[in-house]
Amino acid sequence: VTAYSLRGKSAIVGLGTFGLGRAPGLSSMDLMAGATARAVPDAGLQLKDIDGICGGTLYHMFPTLSIGEYLGIRPTWACSDMTGGSSFLSHLLQATMAIEAGLCNTVLIAYGSNLKQAGTFGIHELPTFEKVYGLASPLPGYAMCAARHMYEYGTTREQMAEVAVAARQWAQLHPDATMKAPLTIADVLASPLVADPLSRLDCCLMSDGGAAVIVTSPDRAKSLKHRPVYFLGGAGASWSREVSQIPDFCTTPTAECAPRAFEMAGVTTNDVDVLQLYDAFTINVIMFLEDMGFCRKGEGGAFVSGGRIAPGGALPVNTNGGGLSFAHPGMYGLFTLIEAAEQLRGNAGARQIEGAEIAIAHGNGCTFSHEFTAVLGAASTV
């Protein structure tokens, strides 16, 4: 048995989001439940059909217990692999293994956060040698990766701004996106620096919100409400936890996990129709495209320029507007799966990529610490 045996062995059948942007009075678990209450009927199922749970927040030590209790589900299998914002993509792989092994039939992957109301990330455990220096957020670490990328490869703030502008243009096509006002490269460059070289508009939003995805076996998927979106491949890689331990500030673990995921799926970069990349900061998209092999290392800045990843460009990236302009409730990973699935269902409205058959959903955890690449496909690819 190899990892290839998992290709096509699960399908995403239900999608839900809830309370995106600002959700006064609601707890993180309320937001998780609101999204679940949409994802379950979206699949044409009921809560009692769920027998597996995946999830995790920055605030819950026992997330699958809290989720199961809140929803009144007693799962036969559960998993809360915690790798930061990429966790939910890892959960898709775990769920696929569990379904294939017969441990459960239908898995809920759920997330909720009231980050905007709370006004803090609220991460339980910060690295010792970052707390010593007063670091309380991932911002300075990413800023230093961006600075190093500029130093080694001549990447410019204008090139990073291209990522933010493309995201905003996509967000304007999504009815639920938070930020829709027109945005230019000059606007990004003129916005205040928060951690050099990153300006406020190089940074993702701080939102409330919940997200939920239902995963089941390919057999069951065929009889449900929407076109199944198949798991074709998935792989994660973790290289560090804290900033000082990142081996190379210009290369992320994506360089390891994306090739493994592509190989499992039997695809190359040429086969990919649309990508959803966790854009906590603009530099992330540039580095992920390099590390996935869409361009060579160091050429990501030039690659994203000229609107290449924007609506009408050659390579559509973050078609919901991403964490930069759609929503970012602390951990964004599950939203990459949702938008990838919307595109493969053909349900993405004004932002639909015509004939999309292969989509990438890519999650990022902590500070380029853990990366997870998932390859999803329409029925024609299985």
Partner 1 sequence: MTMPTSPMDGIGPEGQFWAHLRAGKLMIQHSSSTGEYVFYPRLIAPGSGADDLEFVEVSGFGTIYSTTIMRRPAKHGGDDNVAVVDLDEGVRMLTRVVDCAPDEVHIGMRVQAVIAGVDFGTYANSEQPIVLFRPAGLRAGAVS
List residues near partner 1 by CB under 8 A.
128-135, 139-140, 143-145, 147-148, 151, 192-198, 242-245, 249
Q: CB-wise, 9 or 297, nearer to partner 1?
A: 297
Q: How far is the CB of 243 from partner 1 (least distance, A)?
A: 6
Q: CB-wise, 89 or 144, nearer to partner 1?
A: 144
Q: How far is the CB of 70 from partner 1 (least distance, A)?
A: 35
Q: How far is the CB of 147 from partner 1 (least distance, A)?
A: 5
Q: How far is the CB of 362 from partner 1 (least distance, A)?
A: 23
Q: In 3D, which of 335, 279, 314 has the Cα closest to residue 165?
A: 279
Backbone angles phi, psi at 71, to 5 degrees: -85, -10
Query: Is residue 286 within 8 Å of residue 197, measured between CB atoms?
Result: no
Q: CB-wise, 130 or 342, nearer to partner 1?
A: 130
Q: Please state, as a whole number, how many other Cβ atoms lie within 10 Å of the Cβ of residue 270.
A: 7
Q: In 3D, which of 73, 33, 71, 23 has the Cα closest to residue 52?
A: 73
Q: How far is the CB of 126 from partner 1 (least distance, A)?
A: 10
Q: CB-wise, 319 or 367, nearer to partner 1?
A: 367
Q: CB-wise, 148 or 180, nearer to partner 1?
A: 148
Q: CB-wise, 56 or 138, nearer to partner 1?
A: 138
Query: Is residue 115 within 8 Å of residue 206, measured between CB atoms?
Result: yes
Contacts of 16 (CB under 8 A, 6+ apart): 34, 35, 36, 37, 38, 39, 40, 42, 210, 211, 212, 213
**One-letter-per-residue 3-state SS of 349-376:** HHHCCCCCCEEEEEEEECCCCEEEEEEE
Q: How far is the CB of 127 from partner 1 (least distance, A)?
A: 9
| Number of residues written out for the chain | 382
Q: CB-wise, 252 or 276, nearer to partner 1?
A: 252
| Parallel/antiparallel/unpaired status of strands 208-216 and 106-113 | antiparallel
Q: How far is the CB of 257 from partner 1 (least distance, A)?
A: 19
